[in-house]
Amino acid sequence: QIKAFIFDLDGVITDTARYHFKAWRRMANELGFDFSEEKNEELKGVGRLESLNKILQWGGITLSEEEKIRLAEQKNQWYLQYIQEVSANDLLPGAREFLLATREAGIKTALGSASKNAIPIVEKLGVKHLFDVLIDGNKATKSKPDPEVFLLGASELNVDPLSCIVFEDSLAGIQAAKGAGMYTVGIGYMLPKGIADFQAGSLEFLTPSIVI
């Protein structure tokens, strides 16, 4: 029996990927190379330092750990500037309604994000109170595809991982959810076919009873 829904943030509740892309690209450009939006797909759901390592590899650049930390910090400063203006208008279609319907159906809700900035973002979006539990990149130390973020969500909600459904837009995130033994709902159009147990373009035309 399904007791909880766990939601990824970026790509499911809101679209912060474009701001991450803008900031990482600015950093890459300063280092003298560029990368495409298609490549950016590989960074979705992946933590900050892992993302940086991938980008540096694409640019064929090797740096010391201190230099990497400095660059990751610089990228985050730019990212924080870009997300200043985030408001309820930036919720993806149907996100708020789906969260409300989930709670009305008596199903618990958790946020399961790799982002260290997830909590200020859900505050700006005005949906923080719709989550029973918030797991972000400060609580979860291992990046998706490690299942840690979702297992922590289940544990804080006090439900069996097998009673949870995860809503995810990224490949790393779907792999993380599967590793946690959870049923997966893929959101968006970027996932390879057949990866998630159930696939939908957005939360807009979903109801909790369709996915259970």
Candidates 40-48, 89-97, 130-138, 191-199: pick the segment binding Mg ion (CB under 5 A). 40-48
Is 170 annotated for ligand binding? Answer: no
In terms of CB distance, is 137 or 208 closer to ligand B16?
137
- Concerning whether 160 is annotated as a catalytic residue, the answer is no
Options 31-39, 89-97, 111-119, 158-166: segment touching ligand B16 (CB under 6 A): 111-119
9 marked among binding-site residues: yes
Q: Is 10 in the site for Mg ion (CB under 5 A)?
A: yes
47 binds, among Mg ion, ligand B16, none (CB under 5 to 8 A by kind): ligand B16
163 is in an annotated binding site: no
Whether 89 has a binding-site annotation, put simply, is: no
Q: Residue 174 interacts with ligand B16 (CB under 6 A)?
A: no
- Answer yes or no: are the C-beta atoms of 161 and 180 closer than 8 Å: yes
Q: Does 25 bind ligand B16 (CB under 6 A)?
A: no
Q: Which two tokens stand for residue 107?
A: 């199903």
> Rounded to an integer, what distance in angstroms lies between the CA atom of residue 150 and that of residue 110?
9
Among 6, 11, 118, 200, binds Mg ion (CB under 5 A): 11
- What burial letters (b/e) apply to 122-142, b meaning 16+ CB within 10 Å? bebbebeebbbbbbbbebbee
Cβ proximity to ligand B16, 11 vs 147, nearer residue: 11
Among positions 152-181, residues that touch Mg ion (CB under 5 A) are: 169-170
What is the three-state SS of the chain? CCCEEEECCECCCECCHHHHHHHHHHHHHHCCCCCCHHHHHHHCCCCHHHHHHHHHHHCCCCCCHHHHHHHHHHHHHHHHHHHHHCCHHHECCCHHHHHHHHHHCCCEEEEECCCCCHHHHHHHHCCHHHCCEEECCCCCCCCCCCCHHHHHHHHHHCCCHHHEEEEECCHHHHHHHHHCCCEEEEECCCCCCCCCCEEECCCCCCCHHHHC
| Position 102 contacts Mg ion (CB under 5 A) | no
Contact call for residue 175 and ligand B16 (CB under 6 A): no
Q: In this chain, which of 19, 47, 154, 167 binds ligand B16, going by CB under 6 A?
A: 47
Site string for ligand B16, 148-167 (x = CB under 6 A): --------------------
Q: Which of 86, 107, 110, 114 binds ligand B16 (CB under 6 A)?
A: 114
Residue numbering of the annotated binding site for Mg(2+): 8, 10, 168-169
